[in-house]
């Protein structure tokens, strides 16, 4: 996946209908349910056996940067908009992009001890995305990240989400991923459908890292 | 399993359903925003649907082979939402005697509708036909299980069981509000705090225990229903009732979590037969119903209770009856006998 460089303001790139996005190449990302046998507890494996989750099979992703910040535009089908919950048995829609913090951090299991990954997690009931650090399942630590911002819209049965973050780790907390123009790294994606009570490892995800190449 | 285990015995023959335990817990632990609908301790009339509604049919726990069983995540409606009352109208709108105080359905968007459900909604309804109608009260809290299904279900290892006393606690900093614990708990004693986005439940008043004070629900019970102590302390009521006399038994042992709240099952008067004669052979509360709650051990527990009661009726002595009568209130929760009113307290946080 290529992150093209454009001459556009942050506001324009945070608007899903802007000209920059109309002209940006679209990548089809194949998704599949995070495997049942990979779910971290027996309870979850039993409870979701025969109760489908992560059925979303693909999403569209475009990526741009303007030299100051990088923007990922994610579009996926979701028949119901699940924002702030109105009852305690409801869950909000969510999406995430994930990066390896070291070259060979594993995607499956969200990293491993000593080989962390970094996630930008957007949830439909949050004002802004959070930064998540992980070194394996169950180890995630969420924190606020002033370098992250987002714009989201649900219309006609689909989410349009733009997640943005400053380049080179500017304004970002220590120890979080820093994307830089002219470099190559890897990226992965995940989506949670709140209406299906998807949360934690119950999600649709891209099971392989994709190469991410940022224009200089 | 922990090194030691603190346990409760609730004597259902003495519970009057007054909810003093419930209120003592509420005022101490669940009076903050997001906790309005929470009742970590609740007393339900049985037979009844329980709190949350139909909780015995919500799954969770483990099957006979020890495998996790799927469970339902209850809604706030199932638990019973915190009702709203028309205080403004009654006290400030000058309506005199024409307005009366009544609850409003919190989901009716401000409309003056009666609630459809609440905690202990079916209070004192019971079952059976006159003159053989019957009911009893069943208090429930987190059972601080030996094999906690909540702990096993949590993908974040946010739940732990303390080695020194077996208390099951949710780490509020680790909890991400996924609520698998609420699905997996077969007793449905975990609540979700939507304001803080974490799950919360009875903490066995651990902060009191560490000062030698019994849990609030235990100490406040006016009916001397609640015995409390270490399950391996042979001098303690709990040990004697559970291990020696075997009259205190777990609720729904088939859920497979080995709960640490034990119940002295309810005795009931005999039935009247069709001629209006007393039928000593058949208890008012059907044994089948009691077995469905407490398992097969309930038969022997009730037989022991009857035998010992008969002994005292004949003028004899019964250690069991003495324990259950609880002549000396503080003996019910040895060694947690400190009076909280006499402890020195740290200054309140400013």
Whether A197 and chain B come into contact, CB under 8 Å, resolves to yes
Residue B328's Cβ-count burial label (10 Å; 0-12, 13-18, 19+) is exposed
Taking contacts as CB-CB distances below 8 angstroms, the residues of chain A near B184 are 43, 47
Give the residue ranges of DSSP H helices in chain A. Answer: 10-13, 19-23, 42-47
- Is residue B193 helix, strand or coil? strand
For residue B109, pLDDT over 80 is answered with no
CA A4, CA A181: separation in Å to the nearest integer? 10
Contact across the interface for A43 and B75, Cβ inside 8 Å: no
Residue A174 has pLDDT above 90, yes or no: no
Using one digit for the tens of pLDDT, what is the confidence trace for B167-196?
A: 999 999 999 999 999 999 999 999 999 999
| Structure tokens, B253 | 């042992």
Provide the pLDDT for residue B291: 98
CA distances from A166 to A98, A174, A181, B283, B303 (A): 15, 13, 11, 74, 74
Q: Which residues of B touch A42 (CB under 8 A)?
A: 67-68, 152
In chain A, where the domains are located: 2-214
- Overall CATH class of domain B6-81+119-340: alpha beta
d(CA A85, CA B178): 13
Report the alpha-carbon distance of residue A192 to residue A202 in Å, rounded.
7
Q: Do B155 and A46 touch (CB under 8 A)?
A: no
Is 90 exceeded by the pLDDT of residue B344?
A: no
CA neighbor of B138 nearest in space, from B56, B47, B6: B47
| CA separation for the pair B291, B307 (Å, rounded) | 20
> What's the pLDDT score for residue A169?
86
Other CB atoms within a 10 A radius of the CB of residue A23 amount to 11
In eight-state DSSP terms, residue A176 is: S
A39, A43, A197 member nearest B184 (Cβ): A43
Nearest to A46 among B69, B76, B192 (CB): B69
Taking the Cβ of residue A15 and every Cβ of chain B, the question of whether any pair is shorter than 8 Å is answered with: no
Contact B198, B170 (CB under 8 A): yes
**Residue numbers in B near A41 (CB within 8 A):** 68, 152-155, 180
Pick from B152, B155, B194: CB nearest A137: B155
User: Given B76, B180, B183, which is nearest A87 (Cβ)?
Assistant: B76
pLDDT higher than 70, residue B350: no
User: What is the ipTM, given to two decimal places?
Assistant: 0.95
Q: Do A88 and B74 touch (CB under 8 A)?
A: yes
Is the pLDDT score of A14 beyond 90? yes
Kindly list the residues from chain B whose CB atom is less than 8 angstroms away from the CB atom of residue A123: none
| C-alpha distance from B228 to closest chain A C-alpha (Å) | 31
Q: How many CB pairs (< 8 A) connect A and B?
A: 66
A87 contact B CB<8A: yes
Q: Measured between CB atoms, which of B79, B183, B194 is closest to A47? A: B183
Q: Is B138 on the interface with A (CB under 8 A)?
A: no
Q: From the list A40, A46, A88, which residue is nearest B76 (CB)?
A: A88
Residue B323 has pLDDT above 90, yes or no: yes
Residue B346 pLDDT greater than 80, yes or no: no
What pLDDT, in 10s, does the model give residues A118-161? Answer: 999 999 999 999 999 999 988 999 999 999 999 999 999 999 99
Interface test with A, best of B34, B39, B151, B180 (most A CBs within 10 A): B180
Are the beta carbons of B42 and B139 closer than 8 angstroms? yes
Phi-psi region of A178 (alpha: psi -120 to 50; beta: other; left: phi over 0): beta
Contact A44 B156 (CB under 8 A): no
pLDDT 10s digits, A72-95: 999 999 999 999 999 999 999 999
Residues of A whose CB is below 8 A from B74: 88-89
CATH class of A2-214: mainly beta
Question: Chain B contact for A42, CB < 8 A?
Answer: yes
Q: Please check whether residue B60 is in contact with residue B69, taking contact to mean a CB–CB distance below 8 angstroms.
A: yes
Q: How confident is the model at residue B271 (pLDDT cuts 50, 70, 90)?
A: very high
Interval B52-103: pLDDT, tens = 999 999 999 999 999 999 999 999 999 999 988 999 999 999 998 899 999 9
Is pLDDT above 90 for A214?
yes
B126: left (phi over 0), alpha (psi -120 to 50) or beta: left
């Amino acid at each position: 996946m290529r992150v093209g460089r454009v001459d556009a303001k942050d506001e324009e790139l945070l608007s899903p209908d802007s000209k920059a996005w109309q002209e940006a190449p679209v990548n089809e990302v194949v998704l599949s349910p995070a495997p049942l046998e990979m779910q971290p507890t027996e309870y979850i494996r039993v409870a979701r056996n025969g109760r489908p989750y992560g059925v979303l099979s693909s999403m569209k992703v475009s990526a741009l940067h303007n030299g100051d910040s990088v923007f990922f535009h994610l579009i996926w089908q979701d028949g119901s908009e699940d924002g702030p919950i109105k009852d305690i048995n409801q869950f909000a829609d969510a999406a995430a992009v994930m990066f390896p913090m070291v070259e060979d951090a594993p995607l499956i299991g969200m990293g491993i001890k000593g080989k962390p990954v970094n996630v930008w997690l957007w949830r439909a009931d949050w004002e802004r995305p959070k930064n998540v650090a992980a070194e394996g399942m169950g180890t995630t630590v969420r924190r606020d990240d002033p370098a992250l911002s987002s714009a989201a819209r649900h219309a006609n049965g689909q989410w349009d989400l733009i997640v943005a973050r400053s380049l080179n780790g500017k304004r970002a907390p220590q120890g979080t991923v820093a994307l830089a123009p002219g470099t190559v790294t890897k990226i992965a994606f995940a989506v949670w459908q709140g209406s299906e009570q998807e949360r934690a490892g119950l999600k649709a995800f891209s099971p392989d890292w994709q190469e991410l190449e940022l224009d200089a | 399993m922990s090194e030691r285990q603190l346990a409760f015995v609730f004597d259902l023959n003495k519970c009057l359903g007054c909810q003093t335990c419930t209120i003592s817990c509420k005022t101490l632990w669940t009076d903050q925003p997001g906790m309005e609908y929470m009742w970590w301790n609740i007393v339900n009339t049985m037979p009844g649907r329980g709190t949350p509604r139909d909780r015995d049919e919500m799954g969770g726990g483990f099957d006979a082979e020890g495998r996790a069983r799927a469970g339902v995540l209850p809604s706030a409606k199932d638990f019973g939402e915190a009702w709203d009352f028309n205080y403004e109208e009654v006290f400030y709108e000058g309506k005199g005697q024409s307005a009366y105080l009544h609850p409003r359905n919190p989901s009716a968007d401000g409309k003056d509708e009666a609630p459809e459900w609440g905690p202990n909604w079916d209070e004192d309804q019971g079952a059976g036909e006159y003159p053989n109608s019957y009911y009893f009260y069943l208090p429930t809290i987190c059972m601080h299980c030996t094999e906690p299904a909540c702990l096993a279900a949590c993908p974040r290892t946010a739940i732990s069981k303390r080695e020194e006393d077996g208390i099951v606690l949710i780490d509020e900093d680790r909890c991400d509000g996924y609520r698998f614990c609420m699905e997996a708990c077969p007793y449905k004693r975990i609540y979700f705090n939507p304001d803080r986005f974490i799950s919360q439940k009875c903490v066995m008043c651990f902060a009191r225990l560490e000062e030698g004070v019994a849990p609030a629900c235990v100490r406040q019970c006016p009916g001397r229903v609640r015995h409390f102590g270490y399950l391996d302390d042979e001098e303690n009521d709990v040990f004697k009732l559970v291990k020696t006399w075997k009259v205190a038994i777990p609720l729904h042992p088939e859920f497979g979590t080995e709960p640490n709240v034990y119940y002295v099952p309810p005795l009931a008067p005999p039935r009247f037969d069709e001629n209006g004669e007393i039928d000593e052979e058949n208890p008012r509360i059907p044994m089948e119903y009691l077995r469905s709650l407490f398992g097969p051990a309930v038969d022997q527990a009730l037989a022991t209770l009857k035998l010992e009661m008969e002994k005292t009726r004949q003028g004899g002595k019964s250690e069991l009856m003495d324990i259950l009568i609880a002549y000396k209130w503080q003996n019910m929760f040895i060694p947690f006998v400190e009076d909280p009113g006499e402890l020195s307290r740290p200054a309140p946080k400013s």
